Amino acid sequence: MNRLGLLIATAAVVATATAAAQTVGSCARGGGNQPQPVWVLFDLGSSQIRAVEKPKIAEAAKTAKDRQVSSICLVGHTDKLGDKAMNAKLARARAQAVANEMIHLGYPAKNLVIAADPEAFGNMSLGSSDASEKDRRVTIVFAR
């Protein structure tokens, strides 16, 4: 198979795996002695995973495998800047980016749930805190 064919085949496999990871909805919260949630931070307006954040995702995938966590919920968040509809798309894109990375690391796509919680604190204005970095994240929640 030539390089282009291999690239297309790889993209099809990733798209299929990604589609399986797109279970969207509410997340069952962890209970008992589940690992603590993990935050993966993003740059303003971006769904690209920062290189410095990738070890957090790798550690979360390893922890989930080692502790035999039945599912992981990836909750995408945004700050309050910008258009609400775009922020909803961005929150989901961030969660999907983390899902893709976890799938790439070998975590089963069928065990991932994606949820979006854009615009932290809804309509409440926090002034200069509207652009808080901690609001531009994906929270990895270990479910039951």
What are the tens digits of pLDDT across the range 104-134? 999 999 999 999 888 655 554 555 555 678 8
Mean pLDDT, residues 36-60 taken together: 96
pLDDT of 27 higher than 90: no
What local confidence, expressed as pLDDT, does residue 139 receive?
94
Domains of the chain: 3-142 (3.30.1330.60)
Percent of the chain with pLDDT over 70: 68
Other Cβ atoms closer than 10 A to 139: 18
pLDDT bucket at 1, cuts 50 / 70 / 90: very low
Query: Is the predicted pLDDT of residue 89 greater than 80, yes or no?
Result: yes
Q: Which residues pair with 24 in a beta bridge?
A: 114
Given a cut of 80, whether residue 61 has pLDDT beyond it is: yes
Query: Which strands form 23-24's sheet, in the order they lie side by side?
Result: 23-24, 112-117, 72-77, 137-142, 38-41
- Kindly write down the DSSP assignment for every residue of the chain, as one continuous string: --HHHHHHHHHHHHHHHHHHH-EES--PPP-TTPPPPEEEE--TT--SPPGGGHHHHHHHHHHHHHTT-S-EEEEEE--S-S-HHHHHHHHHHHHHHHHHHHHHTT--GGGEEEEEE-STTTT---GGGGG-GGGSEEEEEE--
Q: Which of 3-17, 70-84, 121-135 has the highest mean pLDDT?
A: 70-84
From the number of C-beta atoms within 10 Å of its C-beta (0-12, 13-18, 19+), residue 105 rates as middle
